[in-house]
Structure 1
């Protein structure tokens, strides 16, 4: 992933971590009412992304690599949607649900490692407005 490096992560890697943790896009700037600064959990995530130790960056990037692999497998199941069974092979009717559950489980593990609640896109957000 390309982008400027800030405390161990490129901009692209930060986008992936945010996305996998279930948080919305950061945007080009912090202006506007929906800025990430209005959410404690999102602010915590940004702080962590900018202040992790090198060993923690390495572990986070391992999570990202695993998640990229799992995520890439999900759309490929569409290749078998037209086949219920063939010779000794039988289609797993729950494959999409199983793969999505595995993917979300790893996403939650990443959130746990970073010490942030899963974001709105992952459910059980725990995101609170700062007033």
Structure 2
């Protein structure tokens, strides 16, 4: 069983890489992301299309499914942004930053599982660097 196009797009997106659209077809030999395994360099596309069945199952069940849920949870907090307290319930003012941090932590774990560095959308090297000049 192979990853669907939507799953491939989600992997790239969660890894922090920008979309390519139809301007540059992504193939085993042409990609914007390359991974290094010892002396072997391959495109992310090649890496994702040559996973074993068990690796693919881990990628889908341990990373993609939970990341989809976490992303929806982040979007879902918008319903509580206008309420600080209701009866005994008190809004967690740090909910979005807590969820963002958890989400990004799992995105980085998926990058490690795949063996590729996080993209710019996840911060260079998995973090954000500020330089003063």
TM-score of the pair, normalised by structure 1: 0.79
1:83 maps to 83
Structure 1 gap segments, 5+ residues each: 1-6, 127-131
Q: Distance in 2 between matches of 1:94 and 1:101?
A: 11
Matches within 5 A, 1:10-21: 10-21=4-15
2:39 maps to none
Aligned length in residues: 116
Compute the displacement of 1:125 (Å).
4.3
Structure 2 gap segments, 5+ residues each: 36-41, 127-133
**Residue of structure 1 aligned with 2:17, choices 23, 42, 49:** 23
Between Structure 1 and Structure 2, which shows a larger proportion of strand residues? 2
CA distance 1:99–1:56, shift in 2 (3 Å): same
* Cα deviation 1:9-50 (Å, max 9, x = unaligned): 11111001111111111322537xxxx645534x54222111
Higher relative contact order (CA 8 A, sep 6+): 1
Q: Following TM superposition, where does structure 1 have runs of at least 4 consecutive aligned residues deviating by more than 2 angstroms? A: 26-31, 36-41
Q: How large is the RMSD of aligned CA atoms in angstroms?
A: 2.2
TM-score of the pair, normalised by structure 2: 0.78
